[in-house]
Amino acid sequence: MERAAFVIYMIVVVLSVCLFGAMHTYVYTIMSLGILTATSLVFLRSIRKDYKTGHYRFLFLSTGMTPLLFSVWAFLLIQIIPLPDFIVRFLSPESVVLASKSLPASTLTGGDMSTDSWITMAPYVYPVSMSLVRFGVYGLFFLGLVQVLNSKKRIDFAIFLLVAVGCFEVLYGMSQTYSGSYKIWWYTKMNYRSDVTGTYINRNHFAGFMAMGVLLAAAFATALSPRKKKREAGSGKKRSLRSRISLALSWEEQSSKRILILFSGIVLGIGLIFSASRGGMIAAAGAMFLMGLLCVFRQGYRRNGFIMLFLFMSIFAYAVIIGVEHPLERFRGFHSDLGQREKMTVKTLELFEDYKIAGVGVGNFQYAYPRFQAEEYKGQYVRFAHNDWAQYLAEGGIVGMGLLVAGIAYFIFRVMRLWARRTEPYAVCLGVMPVVVLAYIAVHSYSDFNLHVPANFLVLVAIMAIGYAALHLERHHRREKMNYRYYNLPMKYRGGVVLVLILGLIGWSGWWSIRHFMGEVYCHTVPNSTLNRDENPPVEELVKAIWWDPSNAKYYYKLGIGLRNADFGLRNVEKTSTDYADYAEKKKQDQKEIIGAFERAVELNPFDAQYHLQLGWEYAHQWKEKDYHTRWLPAADISMDRAGYFAGVKNPHLLQELGNYWIMRSKSVLPNNPLHHEAWAKACWHYKKAIKIEGGGRRAEVSEQGKEQKKQRPESKELKRMKKEIREYVWNSYPDEEMVNQCVNQ
């Protein structure tokens, strides 16, 4: 079982890297199921029989990573399990506000109603559940891999495999970039065409893998450095001819390995440079410096720093020969690009201010951020903050960040304490890799989001496991032993409970991985640029997607849109039918299903302004109902107010739609009604905000002569079209030029 688990782990790592970094559903599902299967074999093998007592015992590996893993898993569980209202109100008051805004507006008689029931701290549970699955897979991968890397042969194989895959990525990327094919397998690359990306779509993700590969190659090359052999004490004899020949052949083998690894490291370094990722190059240089610094402070290992220097200079020399104009050119705009990402970081920290203690929910950034999005990013769908530190702080709050930092600090402390006691080059040089690779990813994560790339997270964990295993490998007279510490637990008591919990986590993660995958088969909501999927599948497939994964709000939203479109088609057909009563009853039932789908989408994910907008319009269309003015119109008002609350500046056309609604609403009451003036003011406010965002502020610009005369930036076609549409819509309700100008003019 152990060998099978090791083979599965290696296959999963290779596939994850080679298939677009495992960013898409079909790849990370294979990754997750493969790791969970291999880890199950590892833990089942850990059940041993005590032949003295005849009882079975469970051996659970104790690592410095264990506290971090269990604390993160527990924290994610706390974010998604329902808690009493007063606890959530204390830890995350904004979550209580969002819980009230997720209630069906049709059940409220006026305003938002606060809830006194049990609610979750994460307003949208689905992304946190998927994060729990993902972090569970990564944690189990580490716990399983360190146990199967129980010999120098396997550690060497894992290193050679990672380096070989990295070299393939470089050669494949260079050929696709400089041949002009721009193909990544069957997918035609649309962006980063002048940069080397290998089988990754994003150059920064490719650079993350390259940088970790360079660091691993440097550490392994220094680990293969020869040791000075002492004569046996008291022997007084020289080595025999046979032993000297064996030693010479062994040294030659080690020297060949080292040359091969050094050359591979140069190839990986060239790939890193020609990815043109500035953050990757800076972070890799800093991590290489840290590795050399640690070697300098270890007596007897200072010359290993020269190996790293040689590798660094060789990479630079080869890059200069090939030509580094484009990578260097990108550094000229370094400060401006960094400034743009800092703006995103500032907005992310504004999100953190609303969820300081417990966070908005790990994975919820992309849903909560549009409310805080800056105007210059209008129309963009921002999934990541380009700063993993700020994003995790917003998602996990002070508690989540505190657990993460404390867990990593404890792991580093354990690793460095053992590293200081080891003397063999293999253990010393590879044993420092967990610290070095963590330092690299910590720096690179300040400007990119490599930790949201499954393949790179997997490679990070694999390198940490390699270093951790090498640090615990002891060799005495050609015999190898792993100096691990295990908790020897009786299966009848604690061991059985621990094993059941671990297998339960594995089973739960595997089951939800399958359910998530099957849901995406019928209706994809995870961005996937490599497969040409239907954005709007039929209603029948949407129902199947919901059956597999009922926690994904977007399935319900698309179901509502699909049912509404089907209703429109049915309406056109039935207009000529003589049996209009049957059609009216069918339409009424369809409208209930449409409203139910939108209400469920809002209940699951209250962050999305579009969900509230569509639901509000459906409420407003229930004009045939007897309680239309007492129930449905007030419910539409509530939904539209919620849409305005979450709208932000991402979508100016959504704000235009809100303006249209409030114009309609102002006509539904008499002019002396206070609601008339309130609705008119809201309409004007939304229209003006939409125009401002669509026009980008139209700031005045200084002329080329540099004088004080200023000119106004001309209006874009989109802005002119929006103003025309607003004028026409307002004029149809209020044919008064002065009133129209109140809505359009800034």
Determine the Cα–Cα distance for residues 561 and 466; give it in Å rounded to an integer: 50
**Please, what's the b/e burial string for 340-362 (b: 16 or more CB within 10 A of its CB; e: otherwise)?**
ebeebbebbeebbebbbebbbbb
Token couple for 51: 């032949």
pLDDT at 335: 63
Q: Which residue is it, tokens 């400089």?
A: 178
Calculate the CA 582 to chain-centre distance. Answer: 49
The residue-averaged pLDDT of 614-637 equals 90
Amino acid at 616: G
Q: Which residue is it, tokens 């999005």?
A: 373
Token couple for 319: 């890059």
Token couple for 561: 């849109």
| Percent of the chain surpassing pLDDT 70 | 84
The residue-averaged pLDDT of 431-460 equals 93
pLDDT at 177: 86
DSSP label of 708: S
Residue 220 or residue 225, greater confidence: 220
Determine the Cα–Cα distance for residues 718 and 692; give it in Å rounded to an integer: 12
Q: H or E stretch including 305?
A: helix 304-322
Q: Does 539 score more than 60 pLDDT?
A: yes
Q: What does residue 625 show for φ and ψ, rounded to 5 degrees?
A: -75, 145
pLDDT at 496: 86
Tens of pLDDT, residue by residue over 646-669, are 998 878 899 999 999 999 999 988
Q: Where are the domains of the chain?
A: 2-98+122-228+248-501, 535-605, 608-699+713-746
CA dihedral 576, 582, 584, 587 (to 10 degrees): -100
Residue 185 or residue 334, greater confidence: 185
Check: CB of residue 147 under 8 Å from CB of residue 43.
no
Amino acid at 399: V
DSSP label of 716: P
Determine the Cα–Cα distance for residues 394 and 388; give it in Å rounded to an integer: 10
- Nearest alpha carbon to residue 388 among 362, 356, 407: 362
What is the rounded radius of gyration, in angstroms, for the C-alpha atoms of the chain? 31
Q: Does 725 score more than 80 pLDDT?
A: yes
Determine the Cα–Cα distance for residues 525 and 541; give it in Å rounded to an integer: 13
Q: Which of 117-121, 174-178, 365-369, 444-448 has the highest mean pLDDT?
A: 365-369
Q: Identify the band that residue 367 occupies on the pLDDT scale cut at 50, 70 and 90.
A: very high
DSSP label of 120: -
Token couple for 198: 């290998």
Determine the Cα–Cα distance for residues 684 and 659; give it in Å rounded to an integer: 7
Classify burial at 559, counting beta carbons within 10 Å of its beta carbon; exposed 0-12, middle 13-18, buried 19 or more.
Answer: buried
Q: H or E stretch including 659?
A: helix 652-667
Determine the Cα–Cα distance for residues 480 and 189; give it in Å rounded to an integer: 47
Determine the Cα–Cα distance for residues 269 and 250; give it in Å rounded to an integer: 28
Q: H or E stretch including 59?
A: strand 55-62
Tens of pLDDT, residue by residue over 454-466, are 999 999 999 999 9
Determine the Cα–Cα distance for residues 205 and 197; give it in Å rounded to an integer: 8
Contact partners, residue 285, CB within 8 Å, separation at least 6? 312
| 652-667 helix and 674-694 helix, angle to the nearest 10 degrees | 160
pLDDT at 232: 41
Instruction: Return the minimum-mean-pLDDT range out of 149-158, 226-235, 628-637.
Output: 226-235
Instruction: Return the minimum-mean-pLDDT range out of 378-392, 544-558, 659-673.
Output: 378-392
CA distances 174 to 197, 260, 265, 285, Å, are 8, 20, 16, 22
Q: Which residue is it, tokens 């969002």?
A: 98
Q: Does 247 score more than 80 pLDDT?
A: no
Amino acid at 526: V
